[in-house]
Amino acid sequence: MAQMTMIQAITDALRCELKDDENVLVFGEDVGVNGGVFRATEGLQKEFGEGRVFDTPLAESGIGGLAIGLALEGFRPVPEIQFFGFVYEVMDSISGQLARLRYRSGGNLSAPVTIRSPFGGGVHTPEMHSDSLEGLMAQQPGIKVVVPSTPYDAKGLLIASIRDNDPVVFLEHLKLYRSFREEVPEESYTIELGKADVKREGTDLSIITYGAMVHESLKAAEELEKEGHSVEVIDLRTIQPLDIATIIASVEKTNRAIVVQEAQKQAGVAAQVVAEINERAILSLEAPVLRVAAPDTIYPFPQAESVWLPNYKDVVATAKKVLEF
Amino acid sequence: MSANKSIFDAVKNLQEIEETFEMVQILNEEGEIVSPDLDPKLSDDELVELMRRMVFTRILDQRSISLNRQGRLGFYAPTAGQEASQIASHYALEKADWILPGYRDVPQIVWHGVPLSQAFLWSRGHFAGGQSPEGVNVLSPQIIIGAQYVQTAGVALGLQKRGKEAVAVTYTGDGGSSQGDFYEGINFASAFKSPAIFIIQNNQFAISTPRHLQTGAKTLAQKGVAAGIPSIQVDGMDPLAVYMATKEARERAVKGEGPSLIETVCYRYGPHTMAGDDPTRYRTSETDEEWGKKDPIIRFRKYLEAKGLWDETKEEAVITDAKEQIKAAIKEADSVPKQKVTDLISIMHDDNSMPVNLKEQYELYAEKESK
């Protein structure tokens, strides 16, 4: 075991997979000799060579096409989109092409591609770097969407994503890259995609969340405990498909729930979670399921992040509304 | 300073570049070899086979239009007029090569090994139409114009990494050369020096929009300059010129010299697609007539007849054969079971990783279908 930040755990996962499977290729803008703009691919080109870890021209759509073409020749591409705000340039390659390769070939061809991309607020990035656009991906049949919140989860989920025989979008929150360390096994291990994790057990309220909001929710749970409320925090980890069983079991136990996301209220996946609970566990609910989300504006100018981004205080306030309904 | 006197020779630079892209022709409209030094010198058998495929494809187009009108085919983009561009370029390929076709490029994948019945199923909208046989290196016709270009750069890089002696070939139209993916595709392949052949079939119109409204560039071939790749404009109604350009591009590619761009100047005699497009709204009968004289089949027929390699009996035999094969293929397509929602669900993901939402929906529809 070693103490790792999330970014180190990600690099470690890439290293494990590059070592274990010669079909794994890592490529993108500045991921080679530079080791990535966040050092996620640090040292990998040196260790595995330019044939396995390489830079590309600056064109996201081309990167997406490259991944699809390489998959057709039996490779297992792990391309990087430098910031997920740039996904619009490659929406066709991902949602219009990658997602449907197996389907449109009647199951004959496959696209085992894992797209890694950072996103998320709280670090004063310039425009279009921090936007939470996971909701767009989650609406596209054919793609699984993974958002880890801890170093341990990041490594196991990334290895599982790379080994998945269908496309996975793996979103890495910028603020979580180096915010804390955690014990991470040095060997390969996987965490099943589509499985949520109960990060904290409780009996009065379920908080269902993902990404940086997991940590805000855990902080809120501590605050609420001081006031005598036992709060369960569920980290979705995979936001498409949702782990319905874990969500519903928790709600049936606590009878109250909120869903917490960093994305705008009209975006993200919170509405989907609420709908699933309404369809499957309405008779267990003592109160409506409320959402914590950002305002429905464009992502804020950097100086306005602190007043715009949802934080643990918003979680506490919404939790109380539900607890006191 | 006067406006027409320039310090930099930007205008001259452009003129010089554009002048280098003169259309290459080997066989003229009369079926005469006009560039003997470029003649690919195909054997008699090869020449006859190329003619057979072109005639077959013309019949396939005629029958497809008719079957579409009868409601026995669905989406169909006519190909008549483009036989040299489509078939002669394909004729220069090998079995190991990959083809990433556009929506009008069904003939190429058929000659590469996709059964005619599957091509018909693709037209109708059945998933079995995309199930190309193993070892037939093709994708289904691409509907998103330009997407096939970036994907070709990827396949070519894959072939290069595998050390295979093969190329990835893709096609788009004149309108498609305005897309971002068109440029990104040729540029990526150039940066990686990958074995790709990019073909622009300039059939003069993108639906109703004439070629000159796509770009002020004098040729589409010159767009290769932006990617730094060898490019050529050929007479796309001339099978020998198209064959030769493709063959040469293939040789360069497998030798590790990178991608090429080929513009074939051609014409579609029919509408854009059979979905209600009416070419008389944007094309004159004079233009149609003018291009009719350039017909690739007429000029190749003249050439082969003069060599004593072709006659009416041979052509009739091809036509009969084509009609029989088409009839059999339609019959085969008719016999394919109808699609069920459970079929569509099961081709979404690997069997071992079907997401929970789909597992649930599978059960739901299996129940529905069992009633």
User: Tens digit of pLDDT for each residue in A84-130?
Assistant: 999 999 999 999 999 999 999 999 999 999 999 999 999 999 999 99
CB B86, CB B108: distance < 8 Å = yes
- Catalytic residue IDs of B: 268, 272, 282
ipTM above 0.95, yes or no: yes
Is the confidence at residue A209, as pLDDT, over 50? yes
Q: Does A266 touch chain B (CB under 8 A)?
A: no
Question: What residue type is assigned to position B156 of the chain?
Answer: A
Please list every residue in chain A whose beta carbon sits closer than 8 Å to the beta carbon of residue B151. Answer: 65, 68-69, 72, 97
φ, ψ dihedrals at A94, nearest 5°: -85, -65
Q: Number of helices (H) and strands (E), helices first, in chain B?
A: 15, 7
Please list every residue in chain A whose beta carbon sits closer than 8 Å to the beta carbon of residue B115. Answer: none
Mean pLDDT of B320-326: 98
d(CA B174, CA A140): 31
CA nearest neighbour of B98 among B88, B107, B108 = B108
d(CA A159, CA A188): 8
Q: Which of A22, A24, A66 to mutate to test the interface with B (most CBs of B within 10 A)?
A: A66
What is the rounded average pLDDT for all residues in chain A?
98
What integer pLDDT is reported at residue B4 of this predicted model? 59
Is the confidence at residue B236, as pLDDT, over 60? yes
CA nearest neighbour of A193 among A173, A217, A165, A212 = A165
User: What pairing do the DSSP bridges indicate for beta strands A144-146 and A238-240?
Assistant: antiparallel
User: Is A57 in Cβ contact with B188 (below 8 Å)?
Assistant: yes
d(CA B39, CA A282): 77
Nearest-CA distance B163 → chain A (Å): 11
Is the confidence at residue A1, as pLDDT, over 90? no
CA dihedral B98, B100, B106, B109 (to 10 degrees): 10
CA nearest neighbour of B99 among B176, B155, B165, B179 = B155
CA nearest neighbour of A78 among A49, A52, A39, A60 = A52
Neighbours of A236 (CB within 10 A): 28
* Alpha helix ranges (H) inside chain A: 6-20, 44-48, 60-72, 91, 101-104, 134-138, 151-163, 213-226, 244-254, 270-281, 305-308, 312-323
Q: Does B154 touch chain A (CB under 8 A)?
A: yes
Question: What residue type is assigned to position B197 of the chain?
Answer: I
Q: Which CA distances in Å does A89 have to A92, A101, B181?
A: 8, 19, 10
Nearest-CA distance A13 → chain B (Å): 20
Q: Which of A72, A166, A193 to mutate to test the interface with B (most CBs of B within 10 A)?
A: A72
Interface of A with B in 27-56 (CB under 8 A): 51, 56
Q: Which CA distances in Å does B143 have to A269, B75, B147, B177?
A: 30, 11, 8, 15
User: Is B353 in Cβ contact with A166 (below 8 Å)?
Assistant: yes
pTM for the whole structure: 0.97
Please give the DSSP secondary-structure letter assigned to residue B211.
Answer: G
What integer pLDDT is reported at residue B6 of this predicted model? 67
Q: Does B119 touch chain A (CB under 8 A)?
A: no
User: Tens digit of pLDDT for each residue in A227-281?
Assistant: 999 999 999 999 999 999 999 999 999 999 999 999 999 999 999 999 999 999 9
User: Is A71 in Cβ contact with B151 (below 8 Å)?
Assistant: no
d(CA A319, CA A253): 16
d(CA A226, CA A211): 24
B4: which residues sit within 8 A by CB, 6+ positions away? none
User: Is B180 in Cβ contact with A110 (below 8 Å)?
Assistant: no
The three state secondary structure string of A177-193 is: CCCCCEEECCCCCCCCC
Please list every residue in chain A whose beta carbon sits closer than 8 Å to the beta carbon of residue B353. Answer: 164-166, 193
- Measure CA of the first residue to CA of the last residue in chain B; give whole Å: 85
User: Is A72 in Cβ contact with B187 (below 8 Å)?
Assistant: no
Mean pLDDT of B58-76: 97
Please give the DSSP secondary-structure letter assigned to residue B139.
Answer: P
User: Is B150 in Cβ contact with A66 (below 8 Å)?
Assistant: yes
User: Is A104 in Cβ contact with B140 (below 8 Å)?
Assistant: yes
Q: Does B65 touch chain A (CB under 8 A)?
A: no
